[in-house]
Chains A and B, each alone.
Chain A
């Protein structure tokens, strides 16, 4: 079983709609969860971090965490063409941080004008 799984897509969403990106992880000891956005040829850029069960909202973005189901999601409201990118889910397993971040392969999101 892969440690962090994401649907690679592409996920195509009309402009103005809600984009829903999902991620599951295998290690129940995981404590910190991050969503990064990566444009083609660029480096990952932090969108959201989440540490506790429930929802966390930041502007048009909402991260959702369910540790019992080992599931993290990212919702993007009012999707814009500039949101077209690969979205990477990252998990930090250990409390000390020494394992680094474990990333999924990313979901390629396309916002159709």
Chain B
């Protein structure tokens, strides 16, 4: 157990809808990163939040957005869902935004878009 929690566990949406996924970071960690993992692939970096600011972003369109709250928990919002958005969404927390810091993953949210 890493101490990182995510909700919900599973989610089914239809194309065009919007979804919000939630993550609580491990105690003492101020950085949250979000990843998308399609079936049979490695996780892909969506973005990172450090002290409530977006600290870096991968190659994902603007319909993927996020927030980090003062308690360092975070949300991932996806608008205008597409079928290809079906994936496991992983949240990882780390002590800071430095590259050497280990990222600890939560259990993930499985999103299915129909």
Enumerate chain A interface residues (CB-CB to B < 8 A): 4, 31-32, 34, 36, 42-46, 49, 51, 88, 90, 92-106
Contacts and interface: CB of A to CB of B under 8 A. Distances in A.
Contacts of A49: 100, 102
Contact of B97 (A42, A96, A103): A96
A76 to B, nearest CB: 19
A71 to B, nearest CB: 18
Given A44-B90, A102-B45, A103-B42, A31 B100 contact: yes
A70 B104 CA distance: 24
A43 B99 contact: no
B42 A104 contact: yes
B102 A34 contact: yes
B7 interface: no
A43 B43 CA distance: 10
B55 interface: yes
Contact of A97 (B40, B99, B105, B107): B99
Interface size class, chain B:
20 to 34
B74 interface: no
A46 B92 CA distance: 11
A100 B42 contact: no
Contacts of A44: 43, 90, 105
Interface of B: 2, 31, 33, 35, 40-48, 55-56, 58, 88, 90, 92, 94, 96-108
B40 A105 contact: yes
A51 B102 CA distance: 11
5 contacts: A32-B99, A43-B106, A44-B105, A97-B98, A101-B92
Contact of B56 (A43, A90, A97, A105): A97
Closest 9 interchain pairs by CB? A98-B56, A100-B45, A103-B42, A92-B99, A97-B99, A43-B105, A97-B97, A43-B108, A32-B99
